[in-house]
Structure 1
Amino acid sequence: MKDEPFAITLNVGSSLANHTGAWRTERPVYVDRMPPCNQACPAGENIQQWLFHAESGDYESAWRQLMRDNPLPAVMGRVCYHPCETACNRVQVDNAVGINSIERFLGDEAIKRGWTVPVPETTSGKRVLVVGSGPAGLSAAYHLRLLGHEVTVREAQEHPGGMMRYGIPRYRLPREVLDAEIDRITALGVGLELGTKVDDVLAAQRADGFDAVFLAVGAGIGKRAYIPAGDSARILDAVTLLGSMEGEDRPLLGRRVAVYGGGNTAMDAARTARRLGATDAVVVYRRTRDRMPAHDIEVEEALEEGVRMQWLSTIKHADEGRLTIERMELDEAGFPQPTGAFEELEADSVVLALGQESDLSLLREVPELTVDHGMVQVADGLMTGHEGIFAGGDMVPAERTVTVAVGHGKKAARHIDAYLRGTAYDPGPKHGLAAADRLNTWYYSDAPASVRPTLELARRVSTFDEVVQGLDESTALFEARRCMSCGNCFECDNCYGVCPDNAIIKLGPGKGFTIDLDYCKGCGLCAAECPCGAIDMVPEE
């Protein structure tokens, strides 16, 4: 029997019979938007992209995506204060995604499995000197090496890492983790010269023929304050205290220790004092807790470990075994003012945690540089006033965190690369923000964030073992899957399912969707029901 021709009979009134696209006054358009976590990351990580790989269980791809922007994920997963989580839209449903804990899991997994970054096959022939091996210097060296340049890092200390080693205690950052990530960077061919202080940056550049310099000397000098004191009073700064923990001999602070200041370094100093045997560690701060610069998590962990806080207080005199404290009060502008009320506080030693400064003596022969309030002024591309000399990290005006410094290193590397090639680096335009009001959170079920385990409280003050532990594989996978993919289509098929005109066409896995405008009447249902806000309704031309 001969086959009959195939035909479709259209019923009058069906969506296929009526080209409803003629009714349209606006049409849907698939868009890509900037996830708020990406926008908030000082290191410029593509967080949503590496979370996409992690939630499928492809941890190596996730790690490699992470390493495009940040060469220290295991470090950052421990010490970053995760502004990405503060910006996370997931709080509209339950809790922010534990981005920082997943980053730590990926960093630790890479160390455990020995994942490495391929060494560049070609070199540009250009040489760059990096002064300082802290987070900014290591980040710049890493990215410059991947861009094909020869890089030499000179570090005044005997070990690399800068303030990550000499300012962050071991209970927050184990040294074997730091060393593993530094070793991965030097394995790319980055030269590392330890115990080599650069006294004159221009002389060092000329002597060895460097084509550019990146300054990342950090802020390793503790600020001092004048405190009238008796001859036997024991006063030291927090930077010296924390740095001395890398040596063979532990400092002797006594049983009663007062820490003067209110930042994260003050919290580290007080918690370190407890671990060194202090039965009473008290933080003396001139303002109230809500005005304290230390992060809340640092304050909470210090309180858990028995550190006392003496708010609205300042040290007026120090003598052997005791301090004279004056009570303060805040004026209408929030500034502390003396009250004339005094009290005594027993203390065997005083640790000053009043901020830090950079050693800028290496710049004394560079008159073109502008230094304001102890910080080197730089242009948008982090170049100083002297051509070919760039600077970043704690020595330039910015928030002083490891994450900011890592971001500076990457940014400087890209601008140095452009400078060496005689071009200009253009990062290009950014997508608009995927704000929370663009999402349809009804489609996301409650899944409270995973909590990282911590070391038993009874063991904390008797050991420098790491306090905050990492996630295991199953928990990290669960946490990654809590990401809502804000602003970018993840092919949930909602638009395909709710379209009343069958105008949504699936292009295949990983290819997204397109709109058949012959049938789309512009009802906007697809945009309204898109969970991640990846569809805009635009006026029809």
Structure 2
Amino acid sequence: MSDRMTPISFEDLMQWIITENKKYGTIFGVNKFFKKQDSKVLEIFNESIETPFGPAAGPHTQLAQNIIAAYLSGCRFFELKTVQTLDGEDLPVSKPCISAKDEGYNVEWSTELRVPEAYEEYVKAWFALKILSKELELGSSDGFIFNMSVGYDFEGISSPKIDKFIMGLKDASKTKIWEECRTYILNNIEKFENIDKVYVDSISPKVCSSITLSTLHGCPPQEIQRIASYLINEKKLNTYVKCNPTLLGYEFARKTLDNMGYDYISFDEHHFNDDLQFSDAIVMFKYLQDLAKKQELSFGVKLTNTFPVEIKNNELPGEEMYMSGKALYPLSIELAHRLSSEFEGNLKISYSGGADVFNINEIFETGIWPITIATTLLKVGGYERNFQIAENLNQLEYSDKYVMDNEKLKKLKEKSVVDIHHIKAIKPMPNRKVTDKVPLTDCFMASCQKGCPISQDIPEYIRLVGEDKHLEALKVIVEKNPLPFITGTICSHACMSKCSRTFYDESVNIRNVKLQAAEKAYEDLMKEISQTSKSDVKIAVVGGGTTGLSAAYFLAKEGLDVTIFEKRDSLGGIVKHVIPEFRMSSDAIQNDIDLICKLGVKIELNSQKTSVQQLKEEGYKYILFATGAWEPGMLDIEGGNVINVIHFLEKLRNKDEELKIGKNVVVIGGGNTAMDAARAAKRADGVENVYIVYRRTKRYMPADEEELHLALEDGVEFKELLAPVKISNGALICKVMKLGEPDESGRRKPIATDETVEILADTIIAAVGEKINTTMFEENNIKVNDRGFVQVEPTTLETNIEKVYVAGDALRGPSTVVEGIADATKFARTIVKKEKNCDLQMNLPKVSTNIEIPIAKKGILKMAIYDKNESSRCLECSTICEFCVDVCPNRANVAIKVKGNKAHQIVHIDKMCNECGNCEAFCPYNSAPYKEKFTLFSTEKDFKDSENPGFVLINEEEKIIKIRLKNQAQEVKLENNDTSIPKEIENMIWALIQDYSYMF
């Protein structure tokens, strides 16, 4: 497998386009085409542009098919990927070279093709767009603009190689590739409905009248001015000069990124000191502006070029990478405002730097255009994201006047540093991959479901709620989850941390959808539930918290006789007795308890039965301990009393009059329970200030990000980087900490300094993790390990005592509700297998096979605040995935239809891949599709040089292939029905040969 792309000839390119469109209504995987419906256009360089945006010089303008895909989806301005004298195999590009999971990074800067190859790609793309715009009636054939980009010094740009490139794009009429394109169309005119010879002859060979100059960091101003002057005076080109964010100065860039949560991005001052300085830039730009005017040309700046940062944690190979996307946005907008202010709005600005659907209209309305994008197109949805952008821009009023509105620009730059779409989340982005490796076929799956400890059928119940089928949705939920109200309110929602929607805007609010189903269908569900007949087998569940309740539910559903023994006067455990009422009402908790009890579960409250021997003597064949973590965590602070968080919350919930809180409350700890305590204290009478003290920063607190935001909204003050030392005279004395290198968990170690601070404290609450009271287990001779956790057989949860089981907190410490349900399910499954010799009976829903609905959602960004129907935002990943197809700029991952499969299958096309690695970032599996998916090779050499599973067709007439599966290669004649090839793989090969021959 090579990391070099093979350009497609114009004939093969057009054959691919014609055939795919005719058969499937798509072109290079683009599912919908943007058609310009009105006559609104903008004029620039004496050329018309229908929508003033398109792909930036980068991965989306390197190959002809990339440019075509961008045009079809709505782009009309194309900044061609930069060329330089160092090209092809001589250009060292580390691979993988792109990381775009959140803000973007890359380690590549110009085309990986040879300059003559790049030139041909751009001409082929130009000619193809002229044909497609007319044939498919997508808009004016003169409604798009190509802009060439060159670098990086005068010697290279004035060299014969680059000069030929520049002059060829100014006028391609005398070139071999132009004639090749023209001849093919004329010789195949019958394949088109709206193309004739007159039209073909009218296609302008003047591909580019403008150029963007890109210079490396450290290029002196004299060199930049010399190159730009040359391009204006000698080449007669409308000229843009790319500007680096380093013009803003180190202090501004560092402070801005730190304040927006990007404090982990590492860079120093050397680029800021070595690059072009702002004052020099202003003088130069005014000179070049005057120079262009004398030549009756245009001059402007392109904002912004690369922002170099240090590579940490092996994000990409090498020592330095270039930042893009949402972290670059505030810097680019700030620079636009500063430059525009200097020129009183009379400087043409072309923009790139974190533009996306959420800000592009506002950028355009300041007077900045054309606008180019890259990072957003590298995310899930890919080229399809252009469609929404194009439609939105098309709603705006276009003006021919190219003057900045500096007041709007000022407001936009102020908004950019607080905009939710561009500030960094408090907590690091969770790992969205599952542990499984991607299969060769049927690789779609719902990662939200994989992330859920009980594997809830999430896309299915979300779809049902979206269809107002709340009862059906609730039935789906309670097959695996007997606590829809509790988990619909306080679940730790591991599913949402895996939700692929996050790569668009924000996770689908899965938890809220569950609660919606519960609230709207609970009464109807209760009417349908009836007590089941019970077997003679008696089962005891010690502990009436969420884990014990769940175990009883699953057992009772199977007709087993189960009794819960609860030491308190009501069921519900921590959730009922500790979690604040404002978080979850007692009535909602009781709904879940009533649902379980209606199945005929027996309850003994105020019970002290914990003896295995006694319970067995009373006839209980199986015993489950699900007693929770109630033992206070230890916090040793000199000089005063510290109240445990569980005791505090329980007293507060019970309105214990003996609890005296005072004005100032300090909570020590950074977990979800600490947030509950702080928010509850904030609501208590007489409390004025509530502080959370933690020895690291918020980024490293174990609490969910949602809980941190809720505490901040309630007015809780976070005292970060503080370690408690002692209590003295009504104050907590803390040592100031600083962050060191990351520990094994990836969190940066807190290191003590000599500085101390005092925090007024009438009440100090320790929220440092609860413990397990092991006395009961030890009294029953149940083995406990040296960490204080009960030892069980992992698959059955059976202890060293036969038919005695343990679930929940005692296995691992304080656990989430849904982890407890998972344990309860495992226990119930064990008992049912023993007693009934079968698995738990669950009426699981059928996964939707309608792929058209999720395909229609691709590329459409909308946060929940804009659309309350979460079903419209759910990507239905259990039905279709194709993320690797979406995010590949080169279209090297394709989705094909295969006989016998309702869902598409994914094939990797070796010759079109440059191993950028982007598909690996977004594949929900722990895999790299460009290495691990079934691959179509063009030549035997490519096949031999690779380790990918895949095949090469070596004799088309006799259908002989070479195929590699599980690292074993063999030659096969397909028509012999060779049984060594799995049927699903053989079907894929036949589909490619018979229905997708244009890919060969």
User: TM-score category by the smaller chain?
Assistant: 0.7 to 0.9
Contact 2:580 2:676 in 1 (8 A): yes
The offset of 1:75, in angstroms, is 1.3
Tell me which amino acid in the other structure corresponds to 1:151: V
**Structure 1 residues 141 and 321: CA distance shift in structure 2, 3 A:** same
1:470-516 Cα shifts (integer Å, max 9, x gaps): xxxxx76x2123323224279xxxxxxxxxx99979xxxxxx9599x
Q: How many residues align?
A: 446
- Report the counterpart of residue 435 of structure 1 in structure 2: none
Identical-residue share of aligned pairs (%): 27
- Report the counterpart of residue 362 of structure 1 in structure 2: 776
Provide the rounded CA distance (Å) in 1 between the counterparts of 2:801 and 2:760: 51
* TM-score, normalization by structure 2: 0.42
Contact 1:42 1:407 in 2 (8 A): yes
**Structure 1 residues 255 and 125: CA distance shift in structure 2, 3 A:** same
**Structure 1 residues 523 and 291: CA distance shift in structure 2, 3 A:** closer
Contact 2:442 2:903 in 1 (8 A): no
The offset of 1:33, in angstroms, is 4.5
* TM-score, normalization by structure 1: 0.75
Q: CA RMSD in A?
A: 3.4
- Report the counterpart of residue 346 of structure 1 in structure 2: 760
Q: Quick check: 281-290 or 241-250, which moved more?
A: 241-250
Tell me whether 1:318 sits opposite 2:709 in the alignment. no
Tell me whether 1:182 sits opposite 2:593 in the alignment. yes
Tell me whether 1:157 sits opposite 2:568 in the alignment. yes
Provide the rounded CA distance (Å) in 1 between the counterparts of 2:838 and 2:453: 22
Provide the rounded CA distance (Å) in 2 between the counterparts of 1:415 and 1:34: 27
Q: Quick check: 377-386 or 154-163, which moved more?
A: 377-386
- Report the counterpart of residue 617 of structure 2 in structure 1: 207
Aligned counterpart for 2:806 among listed residues 391, 394, 405: 391
Provide the rounded CA distance (Å) in 2 between the counterparts of 1:60 and 1:359: 41
The offset of 1:352, in angstroms, is 0.8
- Report the counterpart of residue 244 of structure 1 in structure 2: 651
Provide the rounded CA distance (Å) in 2 between the counterparts of 1:337 and 1:419: 53
Contact 2:539 2:622 in 1 (8 A): yes
Provide the rounded CA distance (Å) in 2 between the counterparts of 1:503 and 1:344: 69
**Structure 1 residues 297 and 93: CA distance shift in structure 2, 3 A:** closer
Provide the rounded CA distance (Å) in 1 between the counterparts of 2:768 and 2:711: 18
The offset of 1:302, in angstroms, is 0.9
Tell me whether 1:486 sits opposite 2:900 in the alignment. no
Structure 2, unmatched stretches of 5+, are: 1-18, 20-439, 842-852, 882-895, 910-923, 926-932, 935-983, 990-1000
Contact 2:628 2:814 in 1 (8 A): no
Tell me whether 1:289 sits opposite 2:698 in the alignment. yes
- Report the counterpart of residue 222 of structure 1 in structure 2: 632
Provide the rounded CA distance (Å) in 2 between the counterparts of 1:449 and 1:156: 45
- Taking the TM superposition and a 5 Å limit, the aligned residue runs for 1:164-179 are 164-179=575-590
The offset of 1:210, in angstroms, is 0.6
Contact 1:234 1:348 in 2 (8 A): no
**Structure 1 residues 357 and 523: CA distance shift in structure 2, 3 A:** closer
Provide the rounded CA distance (Å) in 2 between the counterparts of 1:209 and 1:279: 56
**Structure 1 residues 121 and 281: CA distance shift in structure 2, 3 A:** closer
Secondary structure (helix, strand or coil) at the match of 1:103 reads helix
Secondary structure (helix, strand or coil) at the match of 2:620 reads coil
**Structure 1 residues 447 and 55: CA distance shift in structure 2, 3 A:** farther
- Report the counterpart of residue 143 of structure 1 in structure 2: 554
Tell me which amino acid in the other structure corresponds to 1:279: E
Secondary structure (helix, strand or coil) at the match of 1:331 reads strand
The offset of 1:385, in angstroms, is 2.0
**Structure 1 residues 424 and 369: CA distance shift in structure 2, 3 A:** farther
Tell me which amino acid in the other structure corresponds to 2:820: A
Structure 1, unmatched stretches of 5+, are: 1-14, 16-28, 428-438, 453-474, 491-500, 506-511, 516-521, 525-531
**Structure 1 residues 227 and 246: CA distance shift in structure 2, 3 A:** same
The offset of 1:177, in angstroms, is 0.3
- Report the counterpart of residue 271 of structure 2 in structure 1: none
- Taking the TM superposition and a 5 Å limit, the aligned residue runs for 1:251-262 are 251-262=659-670
Provide the rounded CA distance (Å) in 2 between the counterparts of 1:189 and 1:129: 14
- Report the counterpart of residue 275 of structure 1 in structure 2: 683
Provide the rounded CA distance (Å) in 1 between the counterparts of 2:542 and 2:668: 31
Provide the rounded CA distance (Å) in 1 between the counterparts of 2:840 and 2:680: 45
Contact 1:93 1:441 in 2 (8 A): no
Contact 1:260 1:352 in 2 (8 A): yes
Secondary structure (helix, strand or coil) at the match of 1:107 reads helix
Tell me whether 1:95 sits opposite 2:542 in the alignment. no
**Structure 1 residues 218 and 234: CA distance shift in structure 2, 3 A:** same
Provide the rounded CA distance (Å) in 1 between the counterparts of 2:504 and 2:722: 41
Provide the rounded CA distance (Å) in 2 between the counterparts of 1:399 and 1:52: 33
Aligned counterpart for 2:607 among listed residues 196, 221, 232: 196
**Structure 1 residues 112 and 377: CA distance shift in structure 2, 3 A:** same
- Report the counterpart of residue 418 of structure 1 in structure 2: 833
Contact 2:782 2:800 in 1 (8 A): yes
The offset of 1:151, in angstroms, is 0.9
1:303-322 Cα shifts (integer Å, max 9, x gaps): 11111111121221113422
The offset of 1:413, in angstroms, is 1.0
Contact 2:857 2:873 in 1 (8 A): no
Provide the rounded CA distance (Å) in 2 between the counterparts of 1:489 and 1:337: 47
